[in-house]
Amino acid sequence: MTYEVRFRPRAEEDLFRIYRYIAERAGAETAAGYVDRITAACLALDHAPLRGTRRDDLRPGIRTMGFEHRATIVFQVTGRNVEVVRVLYGGRDLERAL
């Protein structure tokens, strides 16, 4: 079964902020490549949505998945949809972000 992956507005904002942060320090090309890889990792949840760690302690149904040792993808599976809730960079506090 294939799932539809959707990005919530906060996750889209997170990706923009990550891009801007990296672009200021390492350049636009590096930032674009990193954000493209995060986006691809999120979209790959369409075939395996139950990856990552279930985090019901944060919110029922929430799952997290690390990305390249610097980011955490926060998502939930609802029916045939995967909703990317947040993309947190640099060790941000999950409880506070949710």
For residue range 54-66, what is the model confidence (pLDDT) as tens digits? 999 999 999 999 9
Q: What is the pTM of this model?
A: 0.91
pLDDT at residue 96, as a whole number: 67
Q: Which domains does the chain have, with CATH numbers?
A: 4-97 (3.30.2310.20)
Average pLDDT in the chain: 93
pLDDT at 92: 61
Say if strands 81-89 and 62-67 run parallel, antiparallel, or are unpaired: unpaired
Phi, psi at residue 71, to the nearest 5°?
Answer: -130, 155
Give per-residue burial for 40-62: e unless 16+ CB within 10 Å, then b.
ebbeebeeebeebeebeebeeeb
- Residues in the chain where the model's pLDDT stays below 70: 91-98
